[in-house]
Amino acid sequence: MRQLIRETLHQASHESPAIPFVTLVERLRSQGAAVTDEILARILSEPGSGARIVDPWLGLQHALRSYLGDDRSRPGPWVILDPDDGEDPPDPHTPAPVQLRRALIELGRHLDVRSSRDVARWIGLVEEASRLPRAA
């Protein structure tokens, strides 16, 4: 199971610096993994998992979850992909989309997850970056 998660995260890291948690769960299930949200969150929270979970619903918003119910339109956690996967060091000739992806991963690694505003800004940057053309 952990190997499949690591491979799926590695594949996703070539597409974006982060992936919505629900999308990762769907990808794993489509590959035949019997995984629940709780198990995946526990595995990704372990040191050396190759990812970091960021939940935009912290602080007061977290307290409101019980009143809001299970609203699927609400943004859920995101998984920041770990850049320490053997990639080459930064090169000035690297295409801009690759540099941007690496920069967003690095920002995500140092993101203060207690700040809803910082998390929301970072997720906005990731979503904007996903609209840019990808490097070949």
Do residues 67 and 125 touch, judged by C-beta distance below 8 A? no
Edge-to-edge strand list for the sheet holding 18-20: 18-20, 78-81, 51-54
pLDDT of residue 38: 87
pLDDT (tens digit per residue) in 28-84: 999 888 888 888 888 888 887 778 888 766 654 555 555 555 555 556 788 887 655
**Distance (Å) of CA 73 to CA 53, 76, 77, 100, 113:** 19, 9, 12, 28, 21
Residue 12 pLDDT exceeds 60: yes
Q: How confident is the model at residue 136 (pLDDT cuts 50, 70, 90)?
A: very low
Tell me if residue 126 falls in helix, strand or coil.
helix
What residues does each domain of the chain span?
2-130
**Distance (Å) of CA 35 to CA 20, 25, 32, 40:** 16, 7, 9, 7
For 132, list phi and psi in degrees, rounded to 5.
-80, 155
Kindly tell me the burial class for residue 132, based on how many C-beta atoms sit within 10 Å of its own C-beta (0-12, 13-18, 19 or more): exposed
| Lowest-confidence pick of 3-12, 112-121, 126-135 | 126-135
